[in-house]
Amino acid sequence: MPWKEVTVMSQRKQFIKDYEQDLTTFTALCRHYQISPKTGYKWLKRHREQGIDGLKDLSRRPHSIPHRTDPDIVKMILSLRRQYPRLGGRKIHHMLLHDGIERVPAPSTVTDILRRHGLIDPVEAKKHKPFKRFEHDHPNQLWQMDFKGHFALDKGRCHPLSVLDDHSRFCIGLAACANERYEPVHEQLTAIFRRYGMPQRMTMDNGSPWGNKSTGYELTRLTVWLIQLGIRISHSSPYHPQTQGKDERFHRSLQEEWLDHRTIRDLCQAQCEFDNWRRFYNLQRPHEALGMKTPSQRYKHSDRLFPETLPPIEYGESDEVRKVQLNGEIHFHGRIFRIGYALHGYPVAVRPLDEDGKYAVYFCKEPVKIIDLNTTDG
């Protein structure tokens, strides 16, 4: 409207006064004040109904905001964020949908609500960028297993052991262990296998109890047991934790979203906290890599049942079978070859390779060593 802003009320009053004097046509009067006849009639009508007050500008703020987020939903959003401080707008949006909440605002609106209430650090927000990783096609094709960095308790330390399904990101197990030895890992895996079945393959790093950093990929007591169960074994490359990327990311989420906000006294409390986090992570927390589904929506139990008794070790008729001696060695064609201490007492099969003088040593179905009769080293 072309009224001069600084004298808008005085011009409107003069317009009404000139109109009442009837000195010219209405069209000419509007042309003089540089307004349209429609605007002129609007001010005449408001002056007749309200007097001078009718010439004031009305508030442009709507009486109601139809798209404003329900205050109760805002409270839910803020409550979830305070309960899980690392959750962003997208995850909170999908959690509310999953809980059957009606009229859930868009993820961008949830993010705006968090920002308006000072719950998003803009510097931290810039650090989080999506990263696409390779994943297996079906559940239980590969499980990743690792110890998260241990932390202090009032007495002793907690060593969190995690087992994660590669396809679904489902946390198969999360245990508060007192150490990283064979016994607690064997106990936890036995319980996991009984509940969920067994995977086709498991990958882990080169540390205890499933590897030996000083001897490369040599078998340990634990990996010997897994191979006997028919589970293939693989290790991450030394100094390349990215091979265990999904488990590493799981550990980071566990730390940032849960452990950083709790004080843990002992292993019993640690296990209770782990159980709570695991339920939340598997059943409620949407995962961006899963299209905002929860891991439980993509996981199903393995059809490979855990045998309470280990199956017998059998080899083919053409295999040359040797028993591993106390020092981890076998005798073959008049030579001594070191296979590994963990295989002491077990039979292994020696099979010729295409290259003359070279043989592959198998334990069950897993190749464990290449030996060469053409070298002087055993």
Q: Output the domain CATH number for residue 106.
A: 1.10.10
Reduced to 3 states (helix: H, G, I; strand: E, B; else coil), residue 198 is: coil
| Contacts of 295 by beta carbon, 8 Å cutoff, 6+ apart | 165, 168, 169, 170, 171, 281, 282, 287
Tell me which of 235, 263, 297 is where a domain ends: 297
The three-class DSSP label of residue 232 is strand
On the 0-12 / 13-18 / 19+ scale of CB atoms within 10 A, 170 is buried
Q: 162 and 234, same structural domain?
A: yes
Beta strands in the chain (DSSP E): 143-147, 151-152, 157-165, 171-177, 201-204, 232-235, 320-323, 329-332, 335-338, 347-352, 358-363, 366-372
Does one domain contain both 186 and 49? no
Same domain flag for 280 and 366: no
Question: Is residue 278, in this structure, part of any structural domain at all?
Answer: yes
In this structure, are 276 and 151 located in the same domain?
yes
Tokens of 145: 């297993």
The rounded distance, in Å, linking the Cα atoms of 258 and 287 is 16
Q: What is the pLDDT of residue 39?
A: 86
Within a domain: residue 307?
no
Q: Give dist(CA 36, CA 19) in Å, integer.
A: 14
**How many Cβ atoms from other residues are within 10 Å of residue 41's Cβ?**
12
Query: Do residue 76 and residue 148 come from a single domain?
Result: no
**78 lies in a domain?**
yes
Q: What is the CATH number of the domain that holds 244?
A: 3.30.420.10
Report the domain count for the chain: 4
Mean per-residue pLDDT pooled into runs of 10, the chain (378 residues) = 60 84 81 85 84 74 60 81 75 77 77 74 50 68 91 92 92 94 95 96 83 65 95 72 67 84 91 93 79 87 95 93 94 92 94 89 91 78
| Per-residue pLDDT, 240 | 47
180 and 272 fall within a common domain:
yes
Same domain? 178 vs 47: no
Query: Which of 297, 329, 345 is the last residue in one of the domains?
Result: 297
Residue 129 is predicted with a pLDDT of 47
Nearest to 280 by CA among 268, 261, 296, 269: 296
Predicted confidence at residue 92, as pLDDT, reads: 80
Do 94 and 168 sit in the same domain of this protein? no
**Domain co-membership, 181 together with 232:** yes
Residue with tokens 């855990």: 306
Same domain for 154 and 205? yes
In a domain, 226, yes or no: yes
Residue 270 near residue 153 (C-beta atoms within 8 A): yes
- pTM given for the model: 0.64
Instruction: Tell whether 272 and 211 lie within a shared domain.
Output: yes
Within-domain flag for 303: no
> In this structure, is residue 251 part of a structural domain?
yes
Q: Is residue 276, in this structure, part of any structural domain at all?
A: yes
Q: Which residue range is the domain that position 351 belongs to?
A: 320-372
The candidate with the shortest Cα–Cα distance to 173, out of 138, 201, 144, is 144
Residue ending a domain, choose from 297, 330, 357: 297
> Rg of the chain's alpha carbons, rounded to an integer?
36
60 assigned to some structural domain:
no
- Specify whether 106 is located in the same domain as 238: no
Cis peptide before 295, with omega less than 30 degrees from 0? no
